[in-house]
Each structure stands twice: as structure tokens, then as C-alpha cells.
Chains A and B, each alone.
Chain A
Amino acid sequence: MLVPINIIVNGEEYHLKVKPNQILLDVLREDLGLTGSKQGCGLGKCGACTVLLNGKPVHSCLILAPYADGKEIVTIEGIAGEEPHPLQTAFAEKGAVQCGFCTPGMINAAKALLDDNPEPSEAEIKLAIAGNLCRCTGYNQIVSAIQSCAPSNSDIQTEKRGKSNE
């Protein structure tokens, strides 16, 4: 049995026929070749598979493909414009990426947060990424990378944190 779905992924429209038991993550990775989204646990516990569905972060490993019908999806491949997204730059500069496995999901969650709340407090940042595990960085660099993307956060602060990390 195949179910027709229409989805917009990173701005491009796709008309697909999916198996109802297919997981959105598999459609993205296997059918569309967008391998930026990762499968960690496959159980909704690690956040490596986080994509944005109509602007909200979701675990694509727990979503049946037909659920996405008619919706807009953004994966890590669609985050950057001409230039890398400020979050991508900040993550790279602040040592918020080590092995990188959690990074696509982490950046998607952070993007959804900043889109909704451009000046999040540290507590709000921690709450937003609470569903994303990182086994490498210890989170401090991730939180400060996200903080540095708030519009009011002057470059002075960015520099200060950058130095103390070196």
C-alpha cells in the first residue's frame, strides 16, 4: 500500500508515494538523499533526527511519513542561505561541534527557538535543547553559541567567550 503525500522540503515541493509504515526520517535520508538528519536512538530520546515541521522542532524518527503530508519541512541542509546560518558559524567558532552527530538536530532546535524568541535566556535555551543529547561537548559551548546569536549580543561578548574557550 502506498500513500501519496505532498511536502515542501527546504523550499522544494515533492510529490511522493510513501509506505505508511515509513518514518519521515527515512524518507528524508533514503528517498530524498538528505542525510544531514541523523538517526541516533530511533526512539525519541536523543534529538539527532530533529527537523522543523511547519517551523516547529519534531523527532522525525517517530513521525510516520503520511503525517507530514501538506506540511513544510526544514532540515539542516536548508538552514543556510548564500552564507552559512549565523548558528552554523557560531557553532563552528565556539567549539560547539566535536563529532558533529548531534549538531544538525541541535541547530534545528536552536533555530526554532530563535525564530520564536530572538532573545532567549539561558534557561530558555536549555529547555529548548533539552530533547537533544550531545555526548561530546558538555553543552556549555552549545548554549553559548546559541546565546551569541541573539541580536543584542554584541560582538564584544562573542569575543570574550571565544577567548576564554581557547
Chain B
Amino acid sequence: MRIQPFDYWAAPGLNEALNELDLHGADATVIAGGTDLVLNMKKKNILPRRVISLHNLNELDFVLTDESLDNDSVRIGALSKHADLAENPFLKQHFPILCEAVGLIGSWQIRNVGTIGGNICNASPAADSAPPLLVLDAQLVLASKKGEKKISLESFFTGPGATVLEPDQILKEIVIELPKQPSAGCYMKLRRRKAVDVSLAGVAFQAETGPDRKTLAKVGIALGGVAPTPVRVPEAEALLAGRTLDEAVTKISDCAEIAAKAASPIDDVRATASYRRTIINVFIQRCAQNVLNTLKNSGGD
């Protein structure tokens, strides 16, 4: 399993990386932790001529809060490793769904090296960070020598392994607004082996109440591994949004059915499409139940 030779350069900083990509982006591949890329090079799926490593960009390994008048947000650097994010106290408090999901990626060894930026940019339909970030309405900051651009994660993926990222751009950071009212989320994934295997299907469910703490102001439902990209399911969200917590509970099974119908899973050696659809249905019910309970206990007096 030899890897084909390539030219290599480790960028000492972000500006240097962007300069180099400006000159050579079109025939270079960037590498962060390499857990996807090295595997793909070993399997000869990707044969880069030139590799630019971002692993020294400590300036992109951070979790920071931005406080502004109307919307506080958290910024996560693209080079942050899954193991650190899973244990980050601030994220655990505000976005436990994200910590749960990245804590389920691969094994401890993979989480110590793999980055959240790599997970997103690799654009696997089953990337575990994607469904939680989708339901949290995450924004991505893409950087190039020409400047920075902010886009929604939802508009980033274009197909399996494909994104809107230009050859001279890198993902710099992920921005998520902090919830203003009580919120809760839950992520569940199906895989064959407990560790290591990528998911066969993943479900993220996130909800936030209104100021009354009894009505669902926002509901986010997203699926991984059952469509060409990770996807949100607005039809299923709409069924619950605006309802009281008590009403919403009675609609969970309808909601799960709609979401399972919206999925377009495939048959492959690991699982059949109909099994994946069934699992989506079950996971949505469990996630919703869990989230609504949490909100009921935390809010409604």
C-alpha cells in the first residue's frame, strides 16, 4: 500500500497557505489531519501531484465566542480536532449535539488527528459533523487570497465528495449562532462496528423553544448517509415547528414517517435501502422524544 510520490509543502501560516493556493491551487491538494486523504492516496482514489499541508496552522485550531448586540455566536476553527471538540466545555453546554456527533467519529486514534474542516470538506454524504451543523444553521467562512466569504453549510455540498470550494479557497472557520432560548439536540448514527466504521445513516434533531418555553420556535432535522449529500428535511421540520411541546409529542411518528420518505438511501453491501429507511424512522422518533423531554424538563416552569 505505497503512496505515489508527490511534492509537499507545509504552510507555516494561513497567509502563506493562501498565497501558495493562489499560485498553485489548481494542481494542489490541501491536507489537514489526512485521515481521509491518506487513506484515499493509499487506495489510489486520489493521486495528488502536490500536497499543501495545513497541519501547522495552529491559528485555525480554536473555539471562540463572539459577543455582539443581537446575536452571540461561536466560531470553530477548521483545524480543530474531533477529540478536542467532543470535550470542549462551551460546546458541550450550548451544542451538545455537535459534541455527541464528533465524539462518535471513527476511533480515539482518528479523533486525535481528524479535523472538523476535513470532515466537512471531504463532503462524504455520511460525514458525522454535517447533520448537526446543518440543524444548527452553521455558516462557513471560506478564505482565499482575494478575501473571505461566508456561506451557509447547506449551500456548500453539491454531491458526494463535491463542494462549492474553489481551488484557491480553504475552509477557515465554522460559525454558529448561540440559541437565545432553551434548546436541545440529539444525534444518532447506525454503523456496523461500534467504532471505526463510517455511518450507514445518521439523524440529527435540534429544537429551540420560543420565549414562552412551551412552543417550538425552531426545529431542525437533518439526515446523513441516505442521499448524495447530508440533507435537511424541511417538510418534517414544518410539521413540528410552531406547536407546543405537548402537541409536538403526538406528531412524532408522522414526522418520522415524512423524514424517512424524504430520504433517498441506496442498497449496498453494508445495508439495504429499506433497512436504512426504517432506521431513519426509528432514530427520528427516539431523537425527537429525547429532545422534547429535555425541553419540557428544562423549560415549561
B5 contacts A127, CB within 8 Å? no
B4 contacts A109, CB within 8 Å? no
CB distance from B105 to the nearest CB of A (A): 11
Interface string of B169-213 (1 = CB under 8 A from A): 000000000000000000000000011100000000000000000
A57 contacts B51, CB within 8 Å? no
Interface string of A37-72 (1 = CB under 8 A from B): 000001111010010010011110011101101000
Distance of A57 Cα from B107 Cα, bound (Å): 10
**B18: Cβ under 8 A from any A Cβ:** no
Contacting residue for B55 out of A3, A47, A67, A109, CB 8 A: A67
Q: Which candidate, A15-23, A142-150, A155-163, is the interface stretch facing chain B?
A: A15-23
B5 contacts A47, CB within 8 Å? no
Contacting residue for B7 out of A1, A59, A109, A127, CB 8 A: A1
Distance of A81 Cα from B39 Cα, bound (Å): 35
A130 contacts B195, CB within 8 Å? yes
B51 contacts A20, CB within 8 Å? yes
CB distance from A81 to the nearest CB of B (A): 25
Q: Which of B203-233 contact A (CB under 8 A)?
A: none
Distance of A58 Cα from B31 Cα, bound (Å): 17
Most buried by B among A21, A23, A45: A21
A127 contacts B108, CB within 8 Å? yes
Q: Which candidate, B92-100, B109-117, B123-131, B254-262, is the interface stretch facing chain A?
A: B109-117
A69 contacts B10, CB within 8 Å? yes
B196 contacts A62, CB within 8 Å? no
Chain B residue contacts of A64, Cβ below 8 A: 8, 31, 34, 38, 53
Once A and B bind, how many residue pairs between them come within 8 Å at the CB atom?
88
**B6: Cβ under 8 A from any A Cβ:** yes
**B73: Cβ under 8 A from any A Cβ:** no
Chain B residue contacts of A58, Cβ below 8 A: 109, 112-113
Interface string of B258-297 (1 = CB under 8 A from A): 0000000000000000000000000000000000000000
**B3: Cβ under 8 A from any A Cβ:** yes
**B1: Cβ under 8 A from any A Cβ:** yes
Distance of A66 Cα from B39 Cα, bound (Å): 16
> Which single residue of chain B is at the shortest CB-CB distance from A1?
B7
**B106: Cβ under 8 A from any A Cβ:** yes
CB distance from A23 to the nearest CB of B (A): 7
A131 contacts B106, CB within 8 Å? yes
B53 contacts A131, CB within 8 Å? no
B8 contacts A66, CB within 8 Å? yes
Residues of A bordering B, CB below 8 Å: 1, 3, 19-21, 23, 42-45, 47, 50, 53, 56-59, 62-64, 66-67, 69, 109, 112, 127-128, 130-132
What are 21 A-to-B residue pairs whose CB atoms are below 8 Å? A20-B7, A20-B8, A21-B2, A23-B3, A23-B38, A42-B42, A43-B1, A44-B106, A44-B109, A44-B110, A44-B196, A58-B109, A58-B112, A62-B35, A62-B39, A127-B108, A128-B108, A130-B108, A130-B196, A131-B108, A132-B107
Residues of B bordering A, CB below 8 Å: 1-8, 10, 31, 34-35, 38-39, 41-42, 51, 53, 55, 83, 106-110, 112-113, 194-196
Known: A50-B109, A57-B108, A62-B35. 14 other contacts (CB 8 A): A20-B51, A21-B4, A44-B109, A44-B196, A53-B112, A59-B109, A66-B8, A67-B55, A69-B10, A109-B109, A130-B108, A131-B109, A131-B110, A132-B107
